[in-house]
Structure 1
Amino acid sequence: MSTKIEVLGDQTTLIARALELILSKIEIAIKERGQFTIALSGGSTPKPLYEAISSQKLPWDKIHVFWGDERYVAPEHPDSNQLMTRRAWLDRVDIGPGNIHPIPTDEADPAMAAAKYERHLQEFFHSSPGEFPPLDVNLLGMGDDGHTASLFPHTEALKVTDKLITVGNKDANPRITFTYPFINSARCVIFVVAGANKRPALAQVFAPVADELTYPSRLIQPEGELWWLLDAAAGSDLKKDAG
């Protein structure tokens, strides 16, 4: 694993750097494998990034979009990660519906929806049960409690290591989420984190010793590259390069 930490001056610079990095990964993936796969995060921080991507001239037919987690709400619900991404990016570009892979939230049992998305991923990547196919980029945020995707502290989802997808839980509300081993299979994981409220959790995530169940972002140790892009408010206490 190669880990890079970059502390950018402000959120505008942070988003510009994230855009630059993702565009480079798109170019490499399409050149080497003929397509680019990315899993997206929700929340407010990546929205301007998605808007910036939407203004690029890209080979949209070769780009496949997934989500790393989703609230268990209808696609048109204001809390839907899919809805936010469609408005900020996907509805603004000429990308085919077959290249968009939303997490299903229409099953009576969230576990059934998780299993359905897992089957979809296996079919797309031609992988077998127990295999963890590599996405080109897995984009992540981090909450001020140290969670990422819908892997919240001391929840059952953190114990799931034999599946791609599982059910997360936030305040008794179910979510669908990538498991941490699936996140770790990515060729490149990019955290984009902003705000001074993230500093205490970041200190624990980067501490030599801390509890992974309390700070789940510590579990993200991908086989490929790991990038932490932080604005100054979040990352001023960290070294700019961890080697």
Structure 2
Amino acid sequence: MNNKHVEVLPDKTALIERARERVLSEIRTAIERSDRATIALAGGGTPKPLYEALAKEALPWDKIHIFWGDERYVPPDHPDSNQRMAREAWLDRVPLPPENIHPMPTGAANPAVDARTYEQELQAFFELESGTFPKFDLILLGIGDDAHTASLFPGTEALQVRDRLVTVGNKDGQARLTFTVPSIDAARCILFLVSGAGKQEALDRIFAPEANPFVYPARFVQPREGQLWWLLDDAAGRNLGVG
């Protein structure tokens, strides 16, 4: 895949700085191209310092639209909420117009209903024809120790969904909302951030010449036309033989 880039940075501080550079570059390119930038955020601990760094930037915030690639099915003020983390670290600290923030809904008491609601919002925002997928300018992702990404977990039904933009993921019986594989793969740029020695085994399988993506879901991320970036700190990526 000639659109795949893998970089191993010395430590997490260098990883976050490189990610900041990449995000700013994608934002500027998107705004030059279409006068707006659309970004889907990741949850988890790794991107939080990136969000804190972006909160210090002077950007044309009125041209930036924020979405989420997945969300735990909890209220937005819940400690586990991806939306809450991103708002506290970044979004509430910059003058982003409220209408430019597009969180995944979790209030219908029915994950399938909320997944459909978010799908309809994406279809309207991106003015999609039936059967097509949004072309986000940037989707941020991480991986778990089990090689999941977004809320696409090993062996779950969400991995098989190809006719929806958003579906219901499952983590140990707990529902989550998540982009589907084709929604992710349609992006102009996908940026993985991975840190920590605990991710070495998952990365070995994700980067292996052959492995079952239903067991290692991040292997499904193969953008059709866009760029795929893997930014790893040394603790995570030292065994991959890349630099």
Note if contact 1:5-1:227 (Cα within 8 Å) is conserved in structure 2.
Answer: yes
Amino acid at match of 1:95: L
Q: Give the partner amino acid of 2:157.
A: E
Deviation, 1:108, is 1.9
For residue 184 of structure 1, report the CA deviation from its aligned partner.
0.2
Q: In the alignment, what sits opposite 1:228?
A: 230
**Corresponding residue for 1:29?**
30
1:156 is aligned to 157
Counting only pairs closer than 5 Å after superposition, residues 41-80 of structure 1 correspond to structure 2 as 41-80=42-81
Distance in 1, Cα, partners of 2:109 & 2:100: 26
Give 4+ residue runs of structure 1 displaced > 6 Å after superposition.
Answer: none
Stretches of structure 1 that go unaligned for 5 or more consecutive residues are none
**1:231 Cα deviation after fit:** 0.2
Contact kept? 1:14, 1:229, Cα under 8 Å: yes
Specify the alignment match of 2:114 in structure 1.
113
User: In the alignment, residue 146 of structure 2 is paired with which amino acid?
Assistant: D
Aligned to 1:214: 215
Aligned residue in 2 for 1:38: 39
Q: Does 1:180 align with 2:181?
A: yes
TM-score (norm 2): 0.98
AA aligned to 1:130 is G
Aligned residue identity for 2:58: K
Q: d(CA) in 1 for partners of 2:125 and 2:242?
A: 37
- The whole-number CA distance in structure 1 between the counterparts of 2:241 and 2:52 is 29
Q: Is the 8 A contact 1:41 1:81 kept in 2?
A: yes
| 8 Å CA contact retained: 1:189, 1:225 | yes
Distance 1:210 1:143 in 2: 17
How big is each residue's C-alpha offset from its partner over 1:85-111, in whole Å with a ceiling of 9 and x where there is no partner?
Answer: 000000100001110000000012100
Partner deviation per Cα, 1:124-172 (whole Å, 9 max, x = no partner): 0000231012000000000010000000000000010011000000010
Deviation at 1:240, TM superposition (A): 2.4
Q: Distance in 2 between matches of 1:216 and 1:162?
A: 18
Alignment of 1:93 with 2:101, yes or no, is: no
Look up the match of 1:195: 196
1:131 paired residue number: 132
Structure 1 partner of 2:105: 104
Q: Over the residues paired in the alignment, what is the CA RMSD in angstroms?
A: 0.7
Letter in 2 for 1:219: F
Sequence identity of aligned pairs in percent? 59
